[in-house]
Structure 1
Amino acid sequence: MRIGIVCPYSWDVPGGVQFHVRDLAEHLLRLGHHVSVLAPAEDETPLPPYVVPAGGAVSVPYNGSVARVNLGVMSVGRVRRWVKEGDFDVLHIHEPVVPSLGLLTCWAARGPIVATFHTSNSRSRAMSAAYPILQPALEKISARIAVSEYARRTLVEHLGGDAVVIPNGVDVRFFADAEPRAEWQDQTIGFIGRIDEPRKGLPVLMRALPGILAARPGARLLVAGRGDEKEAVAGLPRHVRDRVEFLGMVSDEDKARLLRSVDLYVAPNTGGESFGIILVEAMSAGAPVLASDLDAFAQVLGGGTAGELFPNEDADALARAAAGLLADPRRRADLRERGSEHVRKFDWATVGADVLAVYETVAAGAEAVAPDDRAGLLGRLGFARD
């Protein structure tokens, strides 16, 4: 099958959607499919052979964060050329409502289009206001995927229609087989995320750290991610700062090794999460997980059976839960076992098969049915558009 995938965000800036697109593309390539990914990137950016650059990106505020997207006039020609030369059996657009390449591709494309919605935001006035502009493009979409029930709910509330829920995928074995590093072990807490993005929750964890250390003086916090390290610890007493180690940006291999090494992984995110891929990666690596009780996180953790939850933004509750887990190796071992079992449903072997089933359904429908009748067929198959 010839598959074209559109990534809305700049390829050279790490993020959950980029990782999902990369891993999906590489999974499909391993299965023998022809895959091409179109993404914002400068022409000189080193890229995998399957990625086609669509030009540089600009930063725009989006969903409580800053997204690097591309909707430039110069990109229109590149999108049209990529679509025409690709001669794809199916196009898979991620985040089609983001003002980036997905919209351009919707306008340029002919044939089956699958769209994946990643965003969870119950109060998006911008999305509701933009719907009249987006509608002509969205009507060309044959099948919709949401990465979680909360992303599906956002889609239904703001744009109408519905979607099949297929979670983000993870290469479970990659994380499970990683080698721990001795210097990252022994009463260590892990955090991975952008340091200076408040919704990732590092300030909450920093407020909790004095309480954790009061109960577990030997504990250490390992932080991986980009941002202002001095600002992150500015409010901490000197003796507490000494228990924080910043690792900077880490490779995929070192991320897996970090998650394999820590005694506890903490996800203190405060909002704007539709899934929680880092939780799945941590469980895959065998790390006990403690996360804020965001709806999406609770779903990923099986309602708290595969990891522990604490009240969102409650630093005192986080400190008590983290200290309790660090003091209880039996409970941590139980969470490792539960997490390792729970995470199997997120492996690419399962997730990839579900995505391919959607591709095959819309491709078969496009071949077998005249264009005017296509919407009715897809509706009967459960992939109806508005």
Structure 2
Amino acid sequence: MSTPAPYGRPPLRTVQVLGGASAGSSGQVRALATGLTARGVRVTVCSPQRTEEAHDFTGAGAVHVPVPRRGDPASLAALRAACSGADLVHAHGPHAALRASLALSGRPVPLVVTWYSGGSWDGSRPRVRELVERRVARAASVVLGATPELVGRARSLGARDARLAVLAHPGARAPHEGDMAGRTTADPDKTRAELGTVGRPLLLAVGALHAGRGYRTLLDAARAWRGLEPQPLLLIAGEGPLRSQLQRRIHREDLPVRLLGRRTDVPELLGAADLVLVPGCREARSVLAQEALLAGVPLVAAEVGMMTELVGGAAELVPHGDAEALARAVTGLLGDPYRRQRLRVASRALTRSWPSEDEAAAQVLRVYDELTM
């Protein structure tokens, strides 16, 4: 049950707008909904239905309104109706922010925008992207950037107010709540047996099978550990347009790689893995990298985006797109249990310092209060 609004004020009514199914932004909205509703804020989440099915915003106390990721009149009308009566609208990502600004056209409702990534958009030309971002930056009352670079970009595009966002990490907890965040109670041996990977090292990558996530580099690297004994098996959990292309290559080159498709048991997979691999990332902060560190699984990641700032010395970093360096890092860690243990210790120390979901919600609520008092 939500706590009452403070000082007798009527509950703040907010609408959270998501454009797609990004694990990073959807996870942040889920965490935000939990923290806001606990503080007496009324939260409505507008997103595609499949995003609600994956992240269960209603389970966090929010009202979910299914709105497809489209800019057609019917979708905009549905979004405009959902925003009717809101005290504040918070859009997550430039696509969602553009649609929210159109839905709010003519209404004096504050618009907060969070930018999670500065990467290119699928099917968008750089000029189109810049025009959209410029309109969004100028329409927003406040832009919250996931990185200092995104804050600077928002300011350069004309944002009235741009600040660094405090983003929750998946499963992060306040220090007094213990160090079990990100862990699973599942039996790793049972998970390995179900996957058919008993007696061999298990490597794990998770993410949509899209260009820009480094899967081609990952398959290049997999050739290097075919000769190891026992031979490691790489599991890739995720679905996407590259699946058939990747599967053909795995079969043609007889690579020790298995495509698992979309999975709902990633914590169990993490608990069974010897190493987690992030060969590329389109998010400012890789969700998988955070989950691996929270679970205490040694991580090998491409040095791209904010990865260095995110993981510090708690992971093995390699140049982006360098398959040989990735293969060396993997084979080196598999042969060095002491190095793996040092990474586990470093990850525990690092994750204790991460902001919790509650701290992230508190920062956002302070912004809301500034705009609605």
The answer to whether TM tops 0.5 is yes
1:48: Cα distance to partner? 4.6
1:192 and 2:194 correspond = no
1:116 to 83, 99, 114: 114
Give the structure 2 partner of residue 354 of structure 1: 363
Query: Which whole-Å CA distance do the structure 1 matches of 2:151 and 2:229 have between them?
Result: 41
C-alpha separation in 2, matches of 1:332 and 1:138: 43
Cα 1:230–1:116, aligned 2, differ >3 Å: closer, same or farther?
closer
Per the alignment, do residues 121 and 192 of structure 1 end up closer, same or farther by CA in structure 2, a change over 3 Å counting? closer
Question: Kindly, what percent of the aligned residue pairs are identical?
Answer: 23
Please say if residues 203 and 234 of structure 2, whose CA atoms lie closer than 8 Å, have aligned partners that are also in contact: yes
Question: Could you say which residue in structure 2 is the equivalent of 1:202?
Answer: 215
1:155 alignment counterpart: 154
Instruction: Report the CA distance between 1:244 and its aligned residue.
Output: 2.1
Q: Deviations over 1:46-71 (max 9, x none)?
A: 97543433543xxxxxxxxxxxx221
Contact 1:222–1:247 under 8 Å retained in 2: yes
Say if 1:325 and 1:21 are closer, same or farther in 2 by CA, change over 3 A. Answer: same
Change (3 A) 1:80 1:160: closer
SS in 1 for 2:285: coil
Structure 1 unaligned regions, length at least 5: 57-68, 368-386
Q: Does 1:313 align with 2:321?
A: yes
Structure 2 portions without partners, runs of 5+: 1-10, 173-179
* C-alpha contact (below 8 Å) 1:106/1:138 kept by paired residues: no
In structure 2, the residue corresponding to 1:234 is in which secondary structure? Answer: helix
1:234 and 1:18 map into 2 onto residues whose CA distance is: 31
Amino acid in structure 1 at the alignment position of 2:262: M
Query: What is the distance in 1 between the residues matched to 2:133 and 2:317?
Result: 35
Deviations 1:316-360 (A, max 9, x none): 100000111111111111111211221231431332222223223
> Structure 2 counterpart of 1:261, which letter?
A
Query: What is the aligned partner in structure 1 of residue 78 from structure 2?
Result: 78
Q: RMSD of the TM alignment (CA)?
A: 3.0
Aligned equivalents of 1:3, 1:174: Cα separation in 2: 31
Question: Structure 2 matches for 1:58-69, cutoff 5 A?
Answer: 69=69
- Specify which of 261, 271, 290 is matched with residue 260 of structure 1: 271
Counterpart position of 2:6? none
Contact 1:307 1:335 in 2 (8 A): yes
- Given that residues 169 and 352 in structure 1 are in contact (C-alpha distance below 8 angstroms), is that contact kept between their aligned partners in structure 2? no
| 1:296 CA displacement | 1.4
How far has the Cα of 1:307 moved from its partner?
Answer: 1.1
The verdict on how the C-alpha distance between 1:206 and 1:276 changes in structure 2, with shifts beyond 3 A counting, is same
1:246 aligns with 2:225: no
1:153-204 CA-to-partner distances (Å, cap 9, x unmatched) read 4324444553223234322355224424324375211100112x12111111
- Shift of the 329–159 alpha-carbon distance from structure 1 to 2, 3 Å rule, reads farther
Q: 1:187 to 1:157 in 2, by over 3 A?
A: farther
**Structure 2 residue aligned with 1:59:** none
Structure 1 residue aligned with 2:23, among 15, 28, 32? 15
TM-aligned CA distance change 1:159 to 1:148, over 3 Å: same
Letter in 2 for 1:277: V
Q: Counterparts of 1:362 and 1:38 in 2: how far apart (Å)?
A: 21
Matched, 1:289 2:302: no
Does the 8 Å CA contact 1:29/1:35 hold for their aligned counterparts? yes
1:213 to 226, 236, 243: 226
Which residue of structure 2 lines up, in the alignment, with residue 336 of structure 1? 344
Deviations 1:74-111 (A, max 9, x none): 233323322224x43x3212124557532334425433
Contact persistence 1:146–1:167 (CA under 8 A): no
The residue that corresponds to 1:165 in the other structure is 165
1:97–1:103 Cα contact (<8 Å) kept: no
TM-score by length of 1: 0.76
1:91 corresponding residue in structure 2? 89
